[in-house]
């Protein structure tokens, strides 16, 4: 497999690990994702992953039900660590050396986030999974993906979704919805397109990091995109 990128950051939502379940983690889905990541690593591309936690806990939802927002967000961040450790396990089961680094220290189960160490792992061909988001409440794991991508000099963010890319309107059950091949950051921001939250888009814009939005459920899509094939929608300058 050819490679167009040296170092990528893959953003997986918590829901991506849930498959068709209503909650939690579907081990079969996680194994499939791990296999796709293994293929990319085998091609020589370095892979960092930021994983969300929406399959387990969302701060905003819990705070709208009465919980203190910052507390709820910390719980959400801890939920992402469960997903990060699950991904690590699946990757290591198939022989891919993987390190989890967390933005909230949990030294018994994962390394703390240390930028230089993360980059060293990547240079050695290890996958690094970033857990616990940014470590700050009121942020999202999409923003964390933009932040970590900038910090570790990733060339691109791959944002996994359930649809083929970014549409002008919700494509579920609407055959006329138009799939964009490419978009500018400004267009996404002014039209409030649901790619990533606006903080994440603004960070990518400032640091000139393209975002490729693609369908994770189509097998082989990550490898195709990493090889430079047109997959999904590319958001850039
Ligand atoms: N979160 C946070 N700060 C961060 C990242 C995440 O407080 O930097 C919390 C927030 O409560 C969020 C939850 O963690 O609802 C899970 O993350 P997110 O909703 O981004 O996950 P995803 O939608 O990608 O599954």
Q: What domains sit in the chain, N to C, each tagged with a CATH number? A: 7-236 (3.40.1160.10)
Distances (CA, A) of 195 to 25, 75, 116, 136, 234: 23, 24, 29, 21, 10
Q: Distance, CA 150 to ligand 1 centroid (Å)?
A: 19
Q: What would the pLDDT profile of 148-187 be if each residue is shown by its tens digit?
A: 999 999 999 999 998 999 999 888 888 899 999 999 999 9
Which of 10-14, 129-133, 228-232 comes out lowest in average pLDDT? Answer: 228-232
Task: Bin 5: left if φ > 0, else alpha if -120 < ψ < 50, else beta.
Answer: beta
Q: 37-60 burial, b for 16+ CB within 10 Å, e for fewer?
A: bbbbbebebbbbbbbbbbbbbbbe
As for ligand 1, residues whose beta carbon falls within 6 Å of it are 13-15, 52-54, 58-60, 72-73, 76-77, 80, 133-134, 136-137, 139-142, 144
d(CA 85, CA 81): 6
Is 167 annotated among the ligand-binding residues?
Answer: yes
pTM above 0.90, yes or no: yes
């Amino acid at each position: 497999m050819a490679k167009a990128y040296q170092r990528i950051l893959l953003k997986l939502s918590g829901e991506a690990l849930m498959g068709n379940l209503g909650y939690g983690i579907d081990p079969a889905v996680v194994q499939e994702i791990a296999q796709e990541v293994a293929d990319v690593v085998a091609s020589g591309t370095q892979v960092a992953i930021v994983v969300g936690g929406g399959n387990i806990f969302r701060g905003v939802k819990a705070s709208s039900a009465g919980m203190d927002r910052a507390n709820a967000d910390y719980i959400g961040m801890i939920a992402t660590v469960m997903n990060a450790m699950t991904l690590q396990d699946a990757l290591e089961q198939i022989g891919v050396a993987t390190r989890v680094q967390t933005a909230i220290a949990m030294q018994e189960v994962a390394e703390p986030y240390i930028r230089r160490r993360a980059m060293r792992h990547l240079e050695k061909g290890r996958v690094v999974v970033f857990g616990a988001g940014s470590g700050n409440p009121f942020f999202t794991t999409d923003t964390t993906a933009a932040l970590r991508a900038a910090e570790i000099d990733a060339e691109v963010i791959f944002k996994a979704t359930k649809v083929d890319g970014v549409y002008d309107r919700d494509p579920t059950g609407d055959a006329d919805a138009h799939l964009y091949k490419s978009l500018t950051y400004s267009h996404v921001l002014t039209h409030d397109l649901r790619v990533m939250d606006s903080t994440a888009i603004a960070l990518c814009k400032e640091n000139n990091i393209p975002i490729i939005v693609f369908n994770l459920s189509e097998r082989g899509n990550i490898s195709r995109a990493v090889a430079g094939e047109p997959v999904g929608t590319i958001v850039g300058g």
